[in-house]
Amino acid sequence: MLPEIRLIHQLTQNQIFEVTSRTEADLKAWLASGRYLLEHPLAATANGRAAEFKLRFQEPRFLFAALANDCNRFSQASIETMWCIGKVERLPKSTSWASIQMYYSAFFAAHAILRLFGRACTQLDTTHVDMVYQVAQATQMGGSVSGIENGFYISIIENGCVEYKKLKESHADTWLSFNNLLTWIINNLPNTSGLGKHKSSAIDIISGMKASLTRSGASKGNWPSMLRNRINYQQSHGVWYPYKGAVHDPDAVLRNTEWLKLPNSFELKTNKNDVQMLFDVSNSILSLMYSLMRYGYERAGRVSGPLANGTFRLVNQIHAA
């Protein structure tokens, strides 16, 4: 495995790879379990309800099992989505749905990577936030709020707590959260244990990925989402019949195994057409996810039940095909 992956792995939540529990609980189930305490009293927004809260977890094994299950679910979806890309019979130039699949593979991989580092973008329903509110009230931490808003949240594990803050847009804010994670990784790589040249090349890998996500003025790091929208809703870039204006090579973007290469195999800093860049960006994100998961899984002695029975069983099936 690349020394750069070993360095980046040092920043992950390694407990994910040590989960042997057979529970199928995810992060939503953990939140609904009520196995935590409020770190601070709830504070109301303008509508009288809280939109952020910080929880001190009491059973780390359950939390990291839930995180491992979430990570496994998204990684499986990412790999399967990319694997299903291929030429359409009698329409060899068609790359429309392949482009959309590339996007979603990267989107799922970004969700999985976030969780590897103890972060998660999650849609919380009323049942989830109501449990948090009940715990707050029972422990005199409810403040003056009338409840907690449901919706799309970012959560971050740090110093024995999980902090939740409400976001707005599921796709744009997931990419923003992923972009922020990449910045955090870049800033923290100098503090890892390893050779300086490997730290420098690890920073180059992450910086290249970050730069590719902010193309064309996408300040939130959501360039893939912006391109997906144009392809999907405006039928742009010549990916739909009759493929007018196409400047990409269909054969070059219909390969479904590039993600098995290492993350430093992708050139993300050169000027390419949008569809080719989407192919490279998507595969580089999936490659980073798979490399980190494979290294963490093998380093922990392959003891992870969720990953052994999920992601790596899927990969073994793909290799056997």
The C-alpha atoms of residue 221 and residue 146 are separated, in whole angstroms, by 35
The C-alpha atoms of residue 239 and residue 199 are separated, in whole angstroms, by 39
pTM of the model: 0.96
Q: What is the pLDDT of residue 321?
A: 52
Tell me how long the chain is. Answer: 321
Q: What is the pLDDT of residue 43?
A: 95
β-sheet bridge partners, residue 155: 120, 164
Residue type present at position 28 = K
The C-alpha atoms of residue 212 and residue 193 are separated, in whole angstroms, by 27
Give the per-residue SS3 of 184-207: HHHHHHHHCCCCHHHHHHHHHHHH
pLDDT in tens, 130-167: 999 999 999 999 998 999 999 999 999 999 999 999 99
Q: Which residues of 22-48 are buried (b: 16+ CB within 10 A; e: fewer)?
A: ebebbbbbbbbeeebbbeeebeeeeee
pLDDT in tens, 216-236: 889 899 999 999 999 999 999
Q: Could you give the dihedral angle defined by the CA atoms of residues 296, 298, 304 and 308, in that order, rounded to the nearest 10 degrees?
A: 120
Domain boundaries of the chain, sorted by first residue: 3-314
Q: What is the pLDDT of residue 247?
A: 93
Calculate Rg over the CA atoms of the chain.
Answer: 21
CA distances 110 to 82, 156, 304, 306, Å, are 14, 15, 21, 19
- Sites in the chain below the pLDDT cut of 70: 321
The C-alpha atoms of residue 315 and residue 311 are separated, in whole angstroms, by 6
The C-alpha atoms of residue 119 and residue 78 are separated, in whole angstroms, by 18
Helix locations, the chain, DSSP H: 3-9, 27-33, 60-83, 96-116, 126-138, 170-188, 196-213, 223-234, 250-253, 274-299, 305-309, 311-320
Q: Which two tokens stand for residue 184?
A: 């955090």
